[in-house]
Structure 1
């Protein structure tokens, strides 16, 4: 025996031991944390398609979470943070994660933008007994067929985006859809979930076309989508791909008519900023965080902005903050970095921070919380820098995410 279990056993053997003595022996400060040190790694896209929504901003958000926890729940801990660029390559992500775990003894991995990279990390983290905190990837496989007791999908997924945007537009009568989709796990999942929502609400998917990640020229894809005569051209992509597609669609007049509109199924505040309101105005999309939501979000975002060259946080970066803070609180509360122990504690303690609203963790690792349907303001409606969005409607936590599927996630099946 060692640590707390041994101390508890000693107390049980002695009927005359005082309560104070047992309390002192049974709960030595952070006794099960080797070297009193917790190590985290932020693995993200630092220079490619998704750098704006994650990247350096995710590292800043993780550092903010560490600082806040050290002032409160994590007093007395030593917390180290590593960061790296996975270049949107699953093999690079897995190799770097393995190196961190084996050489640097990293206890948890965060951000993990890019669904292909995330799926590679999910298996590795399970095999190695490491917590994985997913804020950037969107595939629902992370909480379905590839679910893990150590994996937590924090901010959004393809289903939450489909429920927000596809459902809203279909209910408004725009029922025929054509998808322009990035051709890997994320885009395919986003297209599938959006298409399922459209069809469930009585709409139809008239066609689809897929493009490689990091596409610069969308002209042929957009022309084919326009020729479909679909009422909605759904962009099932993210990051710079979505920005490029929207810019070129505006230039070519695609999706600008009364009979056909453009819908971004995954858009970030950084994308709106890159596009500018003149180009982005009118776009409707679902998001899990907006800096100007209330006093707590504004205070958090002001701190972030001061550290990140005047940029407001995206929902990915806000999700990194929330997930890292919650993980560290669970470490402190459980006095352990053992993945099974910390995962159990993460599910037990409430999620409470400036980012999340009505949040909880399901058995499959999906963090459910309120989402919001926003519309991009016109230039005339915007009154200040970063005043980009207006709330259309909130989406309550239990409606925003795909219901538990006992047949999909092995964690929910009887042993």
Structure 2
């Protein structure tokens, strides 16, 4: 090639380069949150659609965007099946670029999802599930347990009832990890206080007929029938216990894991006098009332503690991502642990190394039918139990992450 041709070629290359725009830098993907909840079964009222709305409220309050793009939310129902939860979590983490999964309606689904969270080193925040094993022997470096657990509920409610003379117990237990954990943790509290556990009856999840289990409880002559179940199972147990004349026969029911939605479904005539514990009640202070009002405007019902906690956990996560300046798991979790939780759910929350978010729990008594001054005014606050007294000490949980 002669010099003239070379110069012409170089000129053409230069002209092409000048006219060709530079390659666009790859834009970050939208931050994506996945919610696995119960939308059709026993725990739909305490989480379900309310958890979705609470997550949306947190995203809106945060501002709706991260990394210059709208924050995305996807949802699915694992049908309270561990294998379905694991499959969905794998699909979301691996193929759909989900950064964080929240909710998890049962202990079995949570533990299955946690395995996927560990495998893909992605964050999971459990807001519905109760088993204390989640931050105990089954703890994960990528999981936060936000709302309550069987240890905290057992120690808050169980201790109060035993101190007031309820020293013999029989449990009606949901026959899976959640129910077993309640029975175990509450039984430990009863025995430590000098009481006795006289037996238990294991009931299938979402059963309609509790008659045989209630008959066993009656026959035990225990002073307290501990309800080691939740959601509509607890509601049905209490309704059928009334039909069997349990209270008239001198035995009392202990709702170890109950929610304001349960009280609403039962009505105060049936629920009055129940001693329960919750992590959130809409009428505690100005912040809880403000959130409760906003939630009510959208859902036409007051939030459960799980729904308030789902809002809290989502907002805390988003603030941590912003503060860390990245979606990467480890720096985000470090920010979540180093930043106190201060919001409408709690004003004294701390996320521990074992994944437990520690905060106050409240001992509550259900009002009599003539006592409420407003709709959903269902509780008298008996005590605020500080988080370090309500939740299991980290050293006692058996979490292998704890040194």
Displacement of 1:76: 4.0
Distance 1:196 1:69, change over 3 A: same
Displacement of 1:157: 0.2
Displacement of 1:104: 1.4
Deviations 1:35-82 (Å, cap 9, x if unpaired)?
2521001101001000000000000000000111117x9584531001
**2:331 corresponds to which of 336, 341, 347:** 341
Aligned to 1:3: none
**1:237 corresponds to which of 224, 229, 240:** 229
Deviations 1:171-221 (Å, cap 9, x if unpaired)?
111100000000000000010000000011111101111000001000110
Displacement of 1:406: 6.0
**Mapped partners of 1:354, 1:201: distance in 2:** 34
**Mapped partners of 1:67, 1:144: distance in 2:** 34
Q: 1:154 touches 1:319 (CA, 8 Å); kept in 2?
A: yes
Aligned to 2:274: 283
Q: Does 1:51 align with 2:51?
A: no
Q: 1:137 touches 1:157 (CA, 8 Å); kept in 2?
A: yes
Report the TM-score when normalising by structure 1.
0.89
**Mapped partners of 2:396, 2:200: distance in 1:** 30
Q: 1:144 touches 1:405 (CA, 8 Å); kept in 2?
A: no
**Mapped partners of 1:298, 1:373: distance in 2:** 18
Q: 1:69 touches 1:325 (CA, 8 Å); kept in 2?
A: yes
What is the Cα-based RMSD across aligned positions, in Å?
1.5
Distance 1:223 1:363, change over 3 A: same
Aligned to 2:72: 80
**Gap runs ≥5 in structure 1:** 1-32
Displacement of 1:279: 1.1
Aligned to 1:185: 177
Q: Does 1:362 align with 2:352?
A: yes
Displacement of 1:164: 1.5
Q: 1:287 touches 1:373 (CA, 8 Å); kept in 2?
A: yes
**Mapped partners of 1:406, 1:174: distance in 2:** 26
Q: 2:135 touches 2:397 (CA, 8 Å); kept in 1?
A: no
Q: Does 1:292 align with 2:277?
A: no
Aligned to 2:384: 394
Q: Equivalent residue of 1:216, what SS?
A: coil
Deviations 1:69-101 (Å, cap 9, x if unpaired)?
117x95845310011111111111111111111
Q: Does 1:260 align with 2:270?
A: no
Displacement of 1:256: 3.8
Displacement of 1:268: 0.5
**Mapped partners of 1:59, 1:216: distance in 2:** 27
Q: Equivalent residue of 2:58, what SS?
A: helix
**1:63 corresponds to which of 52, 56, 65:** 56
Report the TM-score when normalising by structure 2.
0.91
**Mapped partners of 2:68, 2:310: distance in 1:** 22
Aligned to 1:220: 212
Aligned to 2:90: 98
Q: Equivalent residue of 1:392, what SS?
A: strand
Q: 1:74 touches 1:329 (CA, 8 Å); kept in 2?
A: no
Q: Equivalent residue of 2:28, what SS?
A: helix
Q: 1:256 touches 1:262 (CA, 8 Å); kept in 2?
A: no
**Mapped partners of 1:313, 1:407: distance in 2:** 30
**Mapped partners of 1:380, 1:407: distance in 2:** 43
Q: 1:69 touches 1:75 (CA, 8 Å); kept in 2?
A: no
Distance 1:356 1:113, change over 3 A: same
Q: 2:31 touches 2:66 (CA, 8 Å); kept in 1?
A: no
Aligned to 2:15: none
Question: How many equivalent residue pairs?
Answer: 378
**Gap runs ≥5 in structure 2:** 1-25
Aligned to 1:140: 132
**Mapped partners of 1:407, 1:241: distance in 2:** 28
**Mapped partners of 1:87, 1:227: distance in 2:** 35
**Mapped partners of 1:221, 1:278: distance in 2:** 23
Displacement of 1:272: 0.6
Q: 1:152 touches 1:366 (CA, 8 Å); kept in 2?
A: yes
Displacement of 1:349: 1.4
